[in-house]
Amino acid sequence: MRQKALYVSIWKKKERAAFEQLSEVMGTDWPKKRKSIRALISINPICPRFLDSWSFFIFFNYRNPSHAVETILHEVCHFLYFKKWKEVFPAAKRRTFESPHIEWHLSELLAPIILNGPELRPFLKKKAAFYEEHEAVKIKGVSAPVYFTKLYERRESFESFLKESYREIKKYKKRFAF
């Protein structure tokens, strides 16, 4: 469990400031009654998140511990993101927050975009990565991550960005059927 201690020590130095920045960027507060987010060490290199329990798996043996920080930030971003999503789209069905729904695809595109923004980029040693499948999707001649990053960069507010990006991804929904 040496890796766990290393991940905890690195994350603890960034946790408070990172959570504050995520909240500020998304324009929503962390829930008052939510006491903790649990990261579970796993042999699985795929790191699923569980919205109902606010927990996720993290790979036990990243070659570079900074990758653990990126994974943590990516996964905790989802928890606040979907809280904000429900504020903006109160009629949203919970099941759409999981694969293969377009809302899930959008969340997986937007997490790295948010993390690569100027407010959260200082917490990472390298740019946050996108799913290869999303990189392969082309919209108006560019990859989906580039397309949605451009929308993010010109946003008026996070709420307006969510609305616009949701409208846009629905236009290209068939391209995300993988």
Instruction: Give kind and range of the element (H or E) at residue 69.
Output: helix 65-88
Parse the chain into domains and list their residue ranges: 2-176
Q: What is the pLDDT of residues 40-79, one digit of tens each?
A: 999 999 999 999 999 999 999 998 989 999 999 999 999 9
Q: Are 144 and 137 in contact (CB under 8 A)?
A: yes
**Res 1: pLDDT:** 65
Q: How far, in Å, CA of 51 to CA of 105, rounded?
A: 15
Tell me which residue has tokens 């994350």: 11
Q: Which residue has the tokens 């009654």?
A: 33
| 97 SS3 class | helix
Question: Considering the chain, what is the average pLDDT of its residues?
Answer: 96
Q: What is the pTM of this model?
A: 0.95
What percent of the chain has pLDDT above 90?
A: 93
